[in-house]
Amino acid sequence: MANLSEINKYDRMSLATSLHLGEKVQPFLDRIITDDEKLDNLDSTIRKRKWLDGHPYQSESL
């Protein structure tokens, strides 16, 4: 960590602060449920596909 630039140090501090504040708002363990011995995260992130020119379409499920 001694070789980090000031921007890298700032980015790390910003991310750590954001994660810490997010944990206070909605604790991580409150977003997890157990179902059939398997952990499921209740994150409601929506993933969207985007077609990039020059790249073939990939029909894999998310």
Instruction: Provide the residue type at 22 as one letter.
Output: G
Contact 32, 39 (CB under 8 A): yes
CA distance 57 to 49: 10
Regarding beta strands 38-41 and 32-35, do their DSSP bridges make them parallel or antiparallel, or are they unpaired? antiparallel
> According to the model, what pLDDT value does residue 13 have?
92
Using DSSP's 3-state secondary structure scheme, residue 48 falls into: coil
How do the pLDDT tens digits run along the chain, 62 residues long?
Answer: 568 898 999 999 998 888 888 777 777 666 666 555 555 555 666 666 676 777 666 655 54
Q: What share of residues in the chain are helix, strand, coil (percent, to 5)?
A: 40, 15, 50
pTM value? Answer: 0.38
